[in-house]
């Protein structure tokens, strides 16, 4: 799974760069650059590794470009989601070509007294944690956009009426992943339940302000976004616990 971990690192770093600049090209370039750095640190330079890493770099560039365009135009959200999903699936299916991670990463784990930690798993844990930050928010936003719950950048969003969502989402996902890694899956599920309880008064107030027979757009935003966010966290947790 080393190639998948490198891919997740690439999109994680690229999405962070995209949030720090108004231009798309630095983020698109950050993906392949991260692939090369991670491959060098993990000693992934065999023939099969190079094929998988080339695929990871290409898919990361497609993801970052298509995601930025979907945010800007408000259309074709499914293309970015498809690129991410298909790319990750291909890397998993071809993971038999990948060699075990080692190199400087393995030496560092030995040096800090973590010789019993598998470098592949360490690389995957770091990648999954990184994805829970900006990339997971982007995945959630694309899912919301594909069902018509968010609008193009610059227009009023349902999220404007739910304060702190973009900050609470990463915190919530990191808490779920951290509790899961610590073996506290019951507490992780309690986090999910607590979010609904805490948000209920706010959602109820929004509903009263917008009476009607259909579901309020803010409630729809909360439900779809929350489930998508939880799936990203639980999917990442499943990867590192497999």
Q: What is the mean pLDDT of residues 50-66?
A: 95
The answer to whether the Cα torsion of 133, 135, 137, 140 is positive or negative is negative
How does residue 203 score in pLDDT terms, banded at 50, 70 and 90? low
Question: Which pLDDT score, from 0 to 100, does residue 120 have?
Answer: 93
pLDDT digits (tens, 9 = 90+) for 83-118: 999 999 999 999 999 999 999 999 999 999 988 889
What pTM did the predictor assign? 0.87
pLDDT digits (tens, 9 = 90+) for 133-182: 999 999 998 998 888 776 666 666 665 666 566 778 888 899 889 988 88
| Total count of domains within the chain | 1
Mean pLDDT estimate for the chain: 85
Question: Which pLDDT score, from 0 to 100, does residue 221 have?
Answer: 79
Phi-psi region of 164 (alpha: psi -120 to 50; beta: other; left: phi over 0): left
The domain of 140 spans: 2-241
Buried b / exposed e along 51-68 (16+ C-beta atoms within 10 A): ebbebbbbbbbbbbbbbb
> Of how many residues is the chain composed?
242
pLDDT digits (tens, 9 = 90+) for 205-218: 655 555 544 456 77
Distant-in-sequence, close-in-space partners of 21: CB < 8 Å, separation ≥ 6? 27
Q: What is the mean pLDDT of residues 48-71?
A: 93
């Amino acid at each position: 799974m080393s190639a998948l971990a490198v891919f997740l690192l690439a999109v994680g770093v690229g999405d962070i760069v995209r949030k720090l600049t108004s231009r798309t090209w630095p983020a698109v370039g950050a993906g392949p650059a991260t692939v090369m750095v991670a491959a060098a640190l993990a000693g992934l330079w065999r023939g099969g590794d190079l094929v998988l890493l080339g695929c990871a770099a290409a898919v990361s560039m497609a993801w970052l470009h298509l995601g930025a365009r979907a945010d800007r135009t408000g259309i074709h959200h499914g293309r970015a989601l498809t690129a991410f999903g298909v790319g990750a699936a291909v890397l998993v299916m071809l993971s038999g070509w990948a060699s075990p991670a080692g190199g400087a990463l393995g030496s560092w784990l030995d040096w800090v007294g973590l010789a019993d930690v598998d470098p592949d798993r360490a690389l995957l844990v770091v990648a999954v944690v990184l994805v829970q930050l900006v990339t997971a928010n982007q995945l959630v936003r694309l899912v919301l956009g594909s069902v018509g719950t968010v609008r193009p950048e610059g227009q009023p969003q349902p999220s404007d009426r739910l304060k702190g969502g973009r900050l609470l989402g990463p915190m919530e996902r990191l808490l779920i992943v951290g509790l899961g890694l610590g073996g506290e899956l019951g507490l992780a599920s309690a986090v999910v339940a607590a979010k609904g309880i805490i948000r209920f008064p706010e959602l109820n107030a929004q509903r009263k302000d917008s009476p009607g027979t259909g579901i309020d757009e803010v409630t729809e935003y909360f439900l779809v976004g929350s489930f998508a966010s939880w799936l990203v966290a639980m999917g990442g947790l499943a990867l590192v616990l497999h």
